[in-house]
């Protein structure tokens, strides 16, 4: 695949780049960002995927999460994909939580979404094949995290593909979408009414069914304005029932914004670095 460089900037001794390519998975051009820490100049480095939330592009976390400073210290590369296919001819909806900017990291099976909304294949296979060919990254050392809809994607991908992702964390994830208005609406549109198909993309149901072989870190703000939609209590109950090693931190006074993400990004990058550089 041909990779077009949109921009590259020096950042904390490393390099922040933005790139575009033609995606076979989505049938559209896709834009993503990669941060390479200084350590990547001499060796392959571990990778931390960051999946963004509703309405976001690659740019939101790249510019607002404050992750590059931490990644440079820990020697991790960061990859910021987009949240959906975009462009002329791509199905969309007037609501912010469906269509472009709201891909939910799944492969849609229903019209009009099925033609382009194949974000699971894009994140799990196509984009990794591209970046590991183009950059000095260690494919055997991948972690994944994300915020809100991206936290949902990080947890579901990690539990489904545990051999791919050696570490996982999430910021305020949509934790039980099958029982939330942030999930039922989108799953019905993208996947139809078969709730068995929904279960493959519900972190709470995946936790009950299979869990994750490592530890999980989740941060959630107590003043999150979307707390009822996120349903962290459902995931917490499934974690306890499974006796899954996990740390769920209810952070007092924090909301759903990127100020929340910034505040705990250093903890998450260090969490992943510990498991990617020195796996247990």
Question: pLDDT tier at 246 (50, 70, 90 boundaries)?
Answer: very high
Instruction: Measure CA of the first residue to CA of the last residue in the chain; give whole Å.
Output: 35
pLDDT at residue 225 above 60? yes
Q: How far is it, in rounded angstroms, from Cα 91 to Cα 38?
A: 40
Nearest C-alpha neighbor of 107 from the set 115, 119, 98, 99: 119
Lateral strand order in the sheet of 137-146: 4-11, 14-22, 29-36, 77-80, 45-51, 137-146, 167-171, 216-221, 246-251
State pLDDT tens for residues 91-129. 999 999 999 999 999 999 999 999 999 999 999 999 999
Overall pTM > 0.85: yes
Query: Mean pLDDT throughout 55-63?
Result: 98
22 DSSP β-pair partners: 29
Q: What is the pLDDT of residue 1?
A: 66
pLDDT at residue 37 above 80? yes
Query: Mean pLDDT throughout 45-69?
Result: 98
How many Cα atoms are found within 13 Å in the side-chain-facing hemisphere of 23?
Answer: 30
Q: How far is it, in rounded angstroms, from Cα 248 to Cα 168?
A: 13
Domain 3-269 classified CATH 3.40.50.1820?
Answer: yes
Estimate to the nearest angstrom the gap between the alpha carbon of 257 and the chain centroid: 16
Q: Where are the domains of the chain?
A: 3-269
Active site (catalytic) residues: 148, 224, 256
Q: How far is it, in rounded angstroms, from Cα 53 to Cα 147?
A: 6
């Amino acid at each position: 695949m041909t990779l077009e460089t949109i921009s590259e900037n020096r950042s904390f001794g490393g390099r922040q780049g933005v790139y575009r390519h033609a995606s076979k998975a989505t049938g559209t051009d896709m834009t993503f960002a990669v941060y390479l820490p200084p350590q990547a100049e001499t060796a392959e480095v571990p990778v931390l995927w960051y999946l963004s939330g509703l309405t976001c592009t690659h740019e939101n976390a790249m510019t607002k999460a404050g992750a590059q400073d931490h990644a440079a210290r820990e020697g991790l590369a960061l990859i910021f994909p987009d949240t959906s296919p975009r462009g002329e001819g791509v199905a969309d909806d007037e609501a912010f939580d469906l269509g472009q900017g709201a891909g939910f990291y799944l492969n849609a099976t229903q019209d009009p979404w099925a033609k382009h909304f194949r974000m699971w294949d894009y994140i799990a296979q196509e984009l990794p094949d591209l970046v590991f060919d183009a950059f000095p990254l260690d494919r055997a050392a991948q972690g994944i995290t994300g915020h809100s809809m991206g936290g949902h994607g990080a947890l579901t991908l990690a539990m489904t593909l545990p051999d791919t992702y050696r570490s996982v964390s999430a910021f305020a994830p949509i934790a039980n979408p099958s029982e939330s208005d942030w999930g039922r609406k989108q799953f019905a549109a993208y996947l139809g009414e078969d709730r068995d198909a929904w279960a493959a993309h519900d972190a709470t149901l995946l936790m009950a069914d299979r869990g994750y072989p490592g530890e999980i870190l989740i941060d959630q703000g107590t003043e999150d304005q979307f707390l009822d939609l996120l349903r962290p209590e459902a995931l917490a109950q499934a974690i306890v029932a499974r006796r899954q090693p996990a740390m769920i931190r209810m952070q007092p006074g924090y909301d759903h914004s990127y100020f929340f993400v910034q505040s705990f990004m250093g903890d998450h990058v260090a969490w992943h670095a510990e498991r990617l550089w020195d796996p247990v």
